[in-house]
Amino acid sequence: MALLLNNPDILQKGRAEIEAKVGNQRLVQESDMNHLPYLHCIISETLRLYPAGPLLVPHESREEISLAGYEIPKGTMLLVNVYQIQRDSEIWEEPMKFKPERFEDGRSNGKWMAPFGMGRRRCPGEALAIREVGIVLGALIQCFDWQRIGSELIDLTEGSGLSISMATPLKVMYRPRKIMTDVFLQLSG
C-alpha cells in the first residue's frame, strides 16, 4: 500500500482496471484475477522490490565449480541474495523505481524474478499467495479511498531481520468509497 500511496497514478490505474472489469456492485473475487493484469503487475513489481525475505532457501553445490574466479567446493552451502538480484541495474532498468508496467504483456526478466525461490525448492504456495494477495489488494483498492498523512512521501526504509518489513509502521488515512455502499450493506447482512 505504501508504494501505491507514493505513486497515486499507479493506484488510480489499478482502480480504473478494477472498475472496468469488476464494477462496483460486488467485491473482487478469485475468478476476477485472470482479468486484472495490471493488478498482477503491481503485485509482481512490489515483490521485485520487496520480496518477503532477502535470501532464498539455502542450496548445496552438487559438484566443485568455478564461478566468477571463485572455486566453490562440492557440498558448499549457497545462499541466493534475491533482494540484490531483483534490484540489480545490470538486469533491471531503473531498478529502484516502482514501475509495474515493466511486467505488462508478460514482459519481465523472468529468470531474475524469484521472490518465491527457484527450482525444486520454489515455494509450492506461490500461485495461492499471488491470488490471495490479489484478492485482498484488489478489495482494498476497490473499497477505500487512500491518502498519505501529510504531503511527504511515505518512508520506505526497511527494518532489519530475516523478513523485509518497513522500519516505521505505515500510517495512512482511508475511508470507504461511497460508490461501494451497497456492497458494504450486503456484507453486513
Residue range 90-132, pLDDT digits in tens: 999 999 999 999 999 877 766 688 888 887 778 899 999 999 9
Q: Where are the domains of the chain?
A: 2-55+82-188
* Pair 78, 146: CB distance under 8 Å: no
Residue range 7-59, pLDDT digits in tens: 999 999 999 999 999 999 999 999 999 999 999 999 999 999 999 888 888 88
Average pLDDT over residues 64-70: 92
Locus of grid cell 487512500:
146
CATH of domain 2-55+82-188: 1.10.630.10
- Which DSSP category does 153 fall into? P
3-state secondary structure of 145: strand
User: In the structure grid, which three cell numbers stand for residue 171, read together?
Assistant: 500510517
Looking at 26-157, which runs of residues are DSSP E strands?
59-60, 65-67, 70-72, 77-78, 144-148
Q: Of 53, 52, 58, 48, which is closest to residue 93 (Cα–Cα)? A: 48
> According to the model, what pLDDT value does residue 109 have?
64
Which residues are documented as binding site?
123
Most distant CA pair in the chain: distance in Å? Answer: 66
Please give the model's pTM, rounded to 2 decimal places: 0.90
Q: CA-to-CA distance for 27 and 143, rounded, in angstroms?
A: 8
> According to the model, what pLDDT value does residue 110 have?
67
Which residues are documented as binding site for heme?
123
